[in-house]
């Protein structure tokens, strides 16, 4: 019995060590897999970080290109030094972006003066964008109607970046006429359309805007009396729902403007007409104001207005 028991014990021991050995192999293989996956994960994270860095640099480049285009739109024939000083970036960075924009025909370089301006390609891009811009598309027949009725220049403008931007126009056929090119801008305090857009902003916006404007100096508003009158004028505009400039800021031209509101009664644009003083009889101006007001009221009830 002793021999049998000893043999059984030996066999059991061998079985146990065999099982233990197999378990060790399984554990070892499993650990190797985990280690391999961890290595793969580290590599993946590094590649992801690199891709993220590339994307962020691309976004930064796009942002810089857009701001340079906006600068050139307001400052045609700008020199490389002027652009570099404005953006506080290295010449090599600005030059690289400009060359890309030139290659894409979005910017043109004057070989004589070595200056840069936006290209005519923007005209084509604007016409394409205009077809998809709900407000311009909606207002086009109304503007055409006003132009045919009075043969004076009609503008549609919006508030953007503390300025009034002209986004659509129907130009008078008269040799003597006043108009602002589409895509250009004016100071909010300057003309009737700008003051109208400002009148419908909240008091905090008005205060902040005027503080920045006064800090820059060189405007009629820097005189206290004019500033107080300006505040009163904004109140009148909001109350009456129209703005008028009778040749005060632009000698020889009168301007009338009304708000264009959406269904939430938020003013989203200004519709205005420029009329030279020599064609500005009281009767004509009154009729123009009545037509503008009628359009303003009609459009504000349309579902298409965003």
Q: Residue 115 sits in a domain of what CATH number?
A: 1.10.10.10
Q: Is residue 124 part of a domain?
A: no
Question: CA 136, 159, 224: angle at the middle one, nearest 5?
Answer: 145
How much of the chain exceeds pLDDT 90, in percent? Answer: 17
- pLDDT tier for residue 109 given thresholds of 50, 70 and 90: very high
For residue 190, give the nearest of 266, 262, 117, 270 by alpha carbon. 270
Tell me what the mean pLDDT of segment 211-226 comes to. 66
Instruction: For residues 164-168, give the mean pLDDT.
Output: 85
Q: Into how many domains does the chain fold?
A: 2
Question: In this predicted structure, which of 28-37, 96-105, 280-289 has the lowest mean pLDDT?
Answer: 28-37
Token pair 């659509």 is found at 168
Q: Based on the domain organization, do 157 and 88 belong to the same domain? A: no
- Say if 153 falls within a structural domain: yes
Give the pLDDT score at 266.
85
> What pLDDT digit, counting tens, does each position of 45-59 carry?
666 666 666 667 777
Whether residues 95 and 138 share a domain: the answer is no
Mean pLDDT across 220-228 = 63
Same domain, 113 and 150: no
Average pLDDT, whole number, for the chain? Answer: 77
Q: Answer whether residue 251 is part of any domain.
A: yes
Position 241 scores a pLDDT of 93
**CB < 8 Å & 24+ apart, contacts of 127-134:** 130/168, 133/167, 134/304, 134/305, 134/306
Q: Are residues 67 and 193 in the same domain?
A: no
pLDDT of amino acid 16:
44
Tokens of 130: 């205009």
Instruction: Choose between 35 and 139: higher pLDDT.
Output: 139
Domain boundaries, position 243: 129-299
pLDDT at 17 over 70: no
Per-residue model confidence as pLDDT tens digits over 89-103: 899 999 999 999 999
Residue 301 CA to residue 139 CA, distance in Å, equals 13
Q: Which residue has the tokens 């006003």?
A: 146
Residue 306 lies in a domain: no
Percent of the chain with pLDDT over 70: 69
Given a cut of 70, whether residue 19 has pLDDT beyond it is no
Are residues 97 and 17 both part of a single domain?
yes
Q: Please check the confidence at residue 166 and state whether its pLDDT lies above 70.
A: yes
Average pLDDT over residues 164-179: 77
Please, which pLDDT band fits residue 154 given cuts at 50, 70 and 90? very high
Position 17 in a domain: yes
Give yes or no: residues 172 and 204 share one domain.
Answer: yes
Tell me if 99 is assigned to some domain: yes
Q: At what angle do helices 203-216 and 224-240 cross, to 10 degrees?
A: 150
Q: What is the mean pLDDT of residues 63-69?
A: 87
User: What is the pLDDT, as a whole number, of residue 7?
Assistant: 43
């Amino acid at each position: 019995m002793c021999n049998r028991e000893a043999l059984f014990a030996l066999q059991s021991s061998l079985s146990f060590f065999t099982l233990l050995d197999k378990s060790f192999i399984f554990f070892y293989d499993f650990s190797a897999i985990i280690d391999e996956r961890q290595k793969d994960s580290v590599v993946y994270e590094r590649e992801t970080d690199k891709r993220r860095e590339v994307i962020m640099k691309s976004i930064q480049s796009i942002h810089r290109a857009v701001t340079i285009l906006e600068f050139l739109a307001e400052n045609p024939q700008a020199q490389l030094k002027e652009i570099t000083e404005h953006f506080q970036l290295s010449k090599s960075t600005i030059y690289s972006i400009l060359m890309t924009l030139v290659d894409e025909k979005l910017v043109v370089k004057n070989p004589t003066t070595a200056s840069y301006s936006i290209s005519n390609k923007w005209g084509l891009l604007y016409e394409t964008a205009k077809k998809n811009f709900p407000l311009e598309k909606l207002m086009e027949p109304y503007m055409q109607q006003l132009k045919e009725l009075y043969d004076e220049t009609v503008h549609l403008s919006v508030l953007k970046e503390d300025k009034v931007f002209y986004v659509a126009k129907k130009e008078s056929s008269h040799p003597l006429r006043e108009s602002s090119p589409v895509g250009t801008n004016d100071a909010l305090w300057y003309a009737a359309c700008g003051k109208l857009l400002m009148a419908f902003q909240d008091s905090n916006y008005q205060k902040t805007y005027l503080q920045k404007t006064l800090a820059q100096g060189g405007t009629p508003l820097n005189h206290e009396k004019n500033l107080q009158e300006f505040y009163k004028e904004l109140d009148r505009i909001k109350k009456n729902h129209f703005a008028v400039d009778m040749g005060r800021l632009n000698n020889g031209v009168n301007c009338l403007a009304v708000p264009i509101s959406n269904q939430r009664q938020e003013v989203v644009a200004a519709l205005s007409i420029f009329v030279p003083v020599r064609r500005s009889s009281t009767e004509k101006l009154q009729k123009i104001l009545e037509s503008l007001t009628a359009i303003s009221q009609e459009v504000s009830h349309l579902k298409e207005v965003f």
